[in-house]
Structures are given as C-alpha cells and as structure tokens.
C-alpha cells in the first residue's frame, strides 16, 4: 500500500505553465542525477522523494545514465515509485533522456533512432512504468540528421511511450531547427533543458529568445552550479560534499572551487543576506526571474537541502538594483 502524503501538498508550491502547452510544472523540480544511484543511501533517496512530493514537487527528472552506475537511478526510482507513489502516477511528471553513452557498440550513444527507441524501452523497464511524461534527446548529435532524432521522438509519442518530448543542451540555432522539425511532424517540442546558473549564463545569448518566440518551456539544470552557489564551499570543501566525493560522470571536482569563484560567492552571499535569503535561495530566485523559465531543476543530497532550497519561493522578487549588483559581482 502507498504511504499517505500531506493533504495540503499543493497549497504552497508555485506551478508555472510550460511554454505554450497545457502542462504546468512546479517552479522547483527534483533531479536524480546524483544521490539516487546504487552507491547512495537508499533510505535517504526515498526520504528525499517523499518529502519532495509532500512539498508539491510533482516533477522528477531522470535519464538513462544517472547513477552511478548508469541506469541505477532509474532502477532505484522504480522501486521507490512502486513502494510509495504507484497510487499517485497521475499526479507526477516523470522524465527520462537518452543521448550519452549507455552500452557498447555503435547503437548505445548519441541520437540515432535505433538508440533513442531502445534506450527509452530500457528506461521504462528499469522504472517499471508504462510511459514517461517527458522524453528528451539529452544532447545534440553532430553526425545524425536531426530529422532522424526528432522523428524518433515523434514516433515515441505516437506509440504512447512518452506524452511529451524535449531537448537538452541544444544551442539556439539547433533548438530552432529541432522545434521546426517537430512542429512539421505534429509533435510539439514541449521543453528545453539547458544548464543555467549565475556562473553559466550561455542561454541569455539567444536561446531564451528562441524559446520565448517558439513558446517552448525551459527547465534549468545545475542552478546552484552543483553547490558552488550555496554557502557550502565558502569555508573550504566539506567532507561528504559532491566535490569531495569524486563521483565522476560530470560531477563537480575540487579544481572547480577556485578562489575567484568563492570570492564571487561570498559577495553574492552578502547580497542574499540583505534580502533575508541565503545564497542558494537567491541563486534559484535569480534563475526563475525569466518568465520563459518554467522550473529550476535542483539536486539535493539531504532532505534539509530540499527544505532550504524551496524557500526561494518566499522571495522571487528581484529589484533592478539587485540585478545590476549581481551583474557587477559576476563580471
Ligand atoms: P544543483 O546545481 O542544484 O546542485 C545540487 C547540489 O548542490 C546538491 O547535491 C548539494 O551538494 C548542493 N545543494 C543543493 N541544495 C543546497 C542547499 N540548499 N544548500 C547547500 N547546498 C545545496 O543541481 P545538479 O547539478 O544536481 O543538477 C540538478 C538536476 O539537473 C540533476 O539531478 C538532473 O536531473 C539535471 N541535470 C541535467 C543535465 C542534462 O544534461 N540535461 C546535466 C546535469 C544535471 P552536495 O551533494 O555536495 O550536498
């Protein structure tokens, strides 16, 4: 039997419309890239997911390669879903992706139809689901015709294996092309998932404009730059932190915690305190300031971080003077 969740779970979360679609997402969504693999504490993973749902976080984001090892986050999520969430499937938006290396040989990577279709079938099996709500092409493939990758996404929707599709880390020009192809096929591009934080502002250089014009939603990953935009690294690298854990697979390394970035984080932290927030909350509010940004996609290693981060919603209002000060600090 599923456990009981808080009855008031929808009362405090903000839900934003995803581009020009019928779907709303919570302003804060939860990603399972790290902290849900076989190397992680499974009770902690379960506690995080339960708390997230209790707080109105209806969107859990996965990918074929999340773990480590790759695939284990989907397997662990599938088990927890069966234990706790199976009576709530219609209240959840569950996503997965394919695009990075998953299995050996020429069919386990990038963007061929062969890979995307097989990978989603594997993801559904691992999670024990009949369909995902959103399926993404995880990164652009320079060698596969985009018509083929988008054709695979269209087919997947028509087969009922995904309700919506999206793309991740596509440039502005690639996004425009993908959106046009999907439009012609009759399966709209619901959403783009780019990396975006105060320390990585590439989407301001064209992508946000394309998404706004085309009515495509946007969910930003690593909004805390994997923890750098919180107070956790201000006094060194704490034991057990992601940077100290050498998890590989793109996780932040100690070498990324540079004196220059810490000096900026210190100044941002001071500004956050003046607003009555901490740095993580300011960093999330800053990402959400764009109307086209549907959701910030956070990762947490503990329930306390989840509780802390969602408090960003208590003060999303950023004054022009504050935005200017942030630009100056980041320069
Ligand atoms: P964040 O930038 O939010 O970093 C998460 C880490 O920051 C946590 O593990 C924790 O570090 C620290 N942290 C979180 N909240 C707090 C807090 N309140 N105070 C102090 N420290 C905090 O996001 P992620 O990099 O984890 O990415 C989020 C999600 O985005 C992923 O799970 C995935 O779903 C998606 N993603 C998508 C990618 C793509 O290519 N499409 C690529 C990468 C991510 P610690 O573990 O040290 O405690």
Q: Any idea where the domains of the chain sit in the sequence?
A: 15-225+292-314
Distance 306 CA to ligand 1 centre (A): 11
pLDDT value, residue 247: 83
Close Cβ partners of 158 (under 8 Å, ≥ 6 residues apart):
187
The CATH number fitting domain 15-225+292-314, selected from 2.60.40.1220, 3.40.50.920, 3.20.20.100, 3.40.50.10380: 3.20.20.100
* Substitution candidate for ligand 1 out of 296, 299, 301, 312 with most atoms within 8 A of CB: 299
* Among the listed residues 311, 234, 237, the one whose alpha carbon sits nearest the alpha carbon of residue 267: 234
Distance 255 CA to ligand 1 centre (A): 17
The whole-angstrom separation of Cα 331 and Cα 315 is 24
pLDDT value, residue 162: 99
Close Cβ partners of 258 (under 8 Å, ≥ 6 residues apart):
none
Contact 40, 66 (CB under 8 A): no
Distance 226 CA to ligand 1 centre (A): 5
| H or E, element range at 244 | helix 242-245
Q: CA neighbours within 13 Å on the CB side: how many for 83?
A: 13
The whole-angstrom separation of Cα 125 and Cα 127 is 5
pLDDT value, residue 2: 59
* Substitution candidate for ligand 1 out of 221, 234, 246 with most atoms within 8 A of CB: 221
85: which DSSP letter? I
The whole-angstrom separation of Cα 108 and Cα 262 is 38
> Scanning the structure block, which residue is given the tokens 């956070």?
298
pTM: 0.98
| pLDDT, tens digit only, all 331 positions of the chain | 557 999 999 999 999 999 999 999 999 999 999 999 999 999 999 999 999 999 999 999 999 999 999 999 999 999 999 999 999 999 999 999 999 999 999 999 999 999 999 999 999 999 999 999 999 999 999 999 999 999 999 999 999 999 999 999 999 999 999 999 999 999 999 999 999 999 999 999 999 999 999 999 999 999 999 999 999 999 999 998 999 988 888 899 989 999 999 999 999 999 999 999 999 999 999 999 999 999 999 999 999 999 999 999 999 999 999 999 999 999 9
Q: Please tell me whether residue 321 adopts helix, strand or coil conformation.
A: helix
* Substitution candidate for ligand 1 out of 52, 298, 310 with most atoms within 8 A of CB: 298
Residue 187: phi, psi to the nearest 5?
-120, 100
pLDDT value, residue 245: 86
């Amino acid at each position: 039997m599923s456990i009981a969740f808080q009855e008031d779970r929808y009362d405090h979360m903000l839900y934003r419309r995803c581009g020009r679609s019928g779907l709303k997402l919570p302003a804060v969504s939860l990603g399972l890239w790290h902290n849900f693999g076989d190397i992680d504490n499974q009770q902690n993973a379960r506690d995080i997911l339960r708390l997230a749902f209790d707080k109105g976080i209806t969107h859990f984001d996965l990918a074929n390669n999340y773990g480590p090892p790759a695939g284990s986050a989907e397997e662990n999520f599938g088990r927890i879903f069966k234990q706790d969430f199976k009576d709530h499937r219609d209240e959840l938006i569950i996503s997965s992706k394919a695009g990075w290396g998953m299995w050996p040989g020429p069919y386990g990577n990038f963007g061929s139809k062969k890979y995307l279709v097989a990978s989603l079938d594997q993801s559904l099996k691992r999670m024990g689901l009949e369909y995902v709500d959103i399926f993404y092409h995880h990164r652009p493939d320079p060698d596969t015709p985009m018509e083929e990758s988008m054709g695979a996404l269209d087919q997947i929707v028509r087969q009922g294996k995904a309700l919506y599709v999206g793309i991740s880390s596509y440039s502005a020009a690639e996004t425009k092309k993908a959106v046009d192809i999907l439009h012609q096929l009759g399966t709209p591009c619901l959403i783009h998932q780019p990396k975006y934080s105060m320390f990585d502002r590439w989407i301001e250089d064209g992508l946000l404009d394309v998404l706004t014009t085309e009515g495509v939603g946007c969910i930003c990953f690593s909004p805390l730059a994997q923890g750098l935009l919180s107070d956790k690294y201000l006094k060194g690298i704490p034991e057990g932190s992601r940077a100290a854990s050498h998890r590989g697979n793109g996780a932040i390394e100690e070498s990324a915690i540079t004196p220059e970035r810490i000096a900026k984080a210190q100044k941002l932290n001071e500004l956050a305190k003046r607003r009555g927030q901490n740095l993580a909350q300011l960093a999330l509010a800053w990402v959400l300031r764009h109307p086209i940004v549907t959701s910030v996609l956070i990762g947490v290693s503990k329930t306390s971080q989840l509780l802390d981060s969602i408090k960003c919603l208590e003060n999303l209002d950023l004054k022009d003077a504050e935005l200017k000060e942030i630009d100056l600090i980041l320069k």
